[in-house]
Chain A
Amino acid sequence: MSVNAKQLISDFKNGLWQENPIFRLVIGMCPTLAVTNTMVNGLAMGLATSFVLISSEIVVSLIKKLIPGDVRIPSYILIIATFVTFVDYFLKAFYPSIAASLSLFVPLIVVNCLILGRQETFASQNPVHRSFADALGMGIGFTWALLLLSAVRELFGMGSMFGLQILGDWYRPMVIMVLPAGAFITLGILIAIMNVIGKNATNDTTCH
């Protein structure tokens, strides 16, 4: 395998586990906690964020030389906000029920620090193909983490998965799991578990 392909694969794999946005970097917490009350919401948020991440990393990587250093951040935010508006109208037009249940958190993708952070640390310094690999890996990493968190919350909180009742009538749903309190506690426990699996626990919020 050529060096180039190896590089691409490692860029891609980075976000899946080693620098997983949620479990290792602990960024993008607002949507992570807010929309993971059902698996459908978690998946939709993961995909929407991935789309914005991939498109904006491609664009930023393409025009990085044209942007003066001082207006870097505002330019990135503008680009991101444009893609977010696109996603928002797309969801409202073709998936109205998902758009309704994610509501405010679709526009809030604009300020998801994961996306801005990747522009700053990766796309602005690397060529398009590597930025694409990075964005894809980060997007999938973000999505699977959201799915896992929402699976735990929906299963215990409502006894269902993807809206299908899994646990029978004998199960009394732990309502706390779908409430804010349950979101914080579940994520805390999941990160602790990931720290045990990943051993070298270094997570500390890198962006505020």
Chain B
Amino acid sequence: MEKNSTKAMIITLATIGIISAILLTFVYQWTIPYIEANQEETRRIAINEVLPTAEEINQVERESQIFYEGYDSSGNRVGMAYQHSGGGYNGPIELMIGVDLEAEEIIRISILNHQETPGLGARITEEEYKSNFAGKPFGDYEVVKTPPSKTMEVQAVAGATISSANTTRIVEEAVSMINNAYGGGS
């Protein structure tokens, strides 16, 4: 009796487990193309946002990182986009950064994914914060709470200093990754 019931228990759980795994395999096969297409689409929109003048995007791999080089219609390189992520206030923040390597400055940034608090940290996705970085030279930035008075100052989102500081740090890291891969911006 004892043995029988143990056997029945194992058989039941194994059966449910196998059926579940089979069903989920189908679900995965069915949804994964859509999920990948969504990610691709988000990335494409972000690259367009950070390299507004680029007509054609080339994906290149350097130092085992993927970079997106943007070219205008006459084939001149107008900028580079790079996707980078790091820790935020509630979870990882994923952003795309577009830079002008020749001028050694940031063109724009775009936030792809984040878990920040709605109404506070989530406002890093708004133009007011993102525009902080437009045209900023490469280097280390300082997060301030008032409208920036110096070139290297970045104004934090009101009430979300931590989210702002984290995003700024991720931008700095992204810039140094690009600098590393492209030999100091030459």
Instruction: Spell out A's residues near B (CB within 8 Å).
Output: 37-38, 66-68, 70-71, 74-75, 78-79, 81-82, 85-86, 89-90, 92-94, 96, 100-101, 103-104, 157-158, 173, 175, 178-179
How many chain B residues touch A (Cβ–Cβ < 8 Å)? 27
Contact status A85-B27, CB under 8 Å? yes
Contact A78 B13 (CB under 8 A): yes
A126 vs chain B, min Cβ distance (A): 20
Bound: A78/B16 CA distance, A: 7
Which residues of B sit under 8 angstroms from A70, Cβ to Cβ?
5, 9
Asked if B113 lies at the interface with its beta carbon under 8 angstroms from chain A, I say yes
User: What is the bound-complex CA distance between A79 and B17, given in angstroms?
Assistant: 8
Task: Specify which chain B residues have a CB less than 8 angstroms from the CB of A38 in the assembled complex.
Answer: 118
Distance (whole angstroms) from the CB of B106 to the closest CB of chain A: 25
Is B38 among interface residues, defined by CB-CB distance under 8 A? yes
Would you call A178 and B118 a contact (CB within 8 A)?
yes
Contacts of B20 in A (CB 8 A): 78-79, 81-82
Taking CB atoms and an 8 Å cut-off, the chain B residues in 70-105 that contact chain A are 91
B8 lies within 8 A of chain A by Cβ: yes
Known: A81-B20, A175-B159. A96 touches B38 (CB 8 A): yes
B13 — which chain A residues lie within 8 A by C-beta? 71, 74-75, 78
A50 → chain B closest CB, angstroms: 19
Q: In the bound complex, how far is the Cα of B35 from the Cα of A145, in angstroms? A: 31
Whether, in the assembled complex, B23 has its beta carbon less than 8 Å from a beta carbon of chain A, the answer is yes
User: Would A82 and B34 count as touching, CB distance under 8 A?
Assistant: no
Q: Could you tell me the distance between the alpha carbons of A175 and B42 in the complex, rounded to whole angstroms?
A: 29
Query: Given A79-B20, A158-B119: A68 and B34 within 8 A (CB)?
Result: no
Question: Are A89 and B117 within 8 A (Cβ)?
Answer: no
Pair B12/A66 contact, Cβ less than 8 Å = yes
Q: Return A20 CB to nearest CB of chain B, in Å.
A: 26
**Cross-chain pairs A/B with CB under 8 angstroms, 24 sampled:** A37-B118, A37-B119, A66-B12, A67-B12, A70-B5, A75-B12, A78-B17, A79-B16, A86-B27, A89-B27, A89-B32, A90-B27, A90-B31, A92-B35, A93-B32, A93-B35, A100-B113, A101-B118, A103-B91, A157-B118, A158-B118, A175-B119, A175-B159, A178-B119
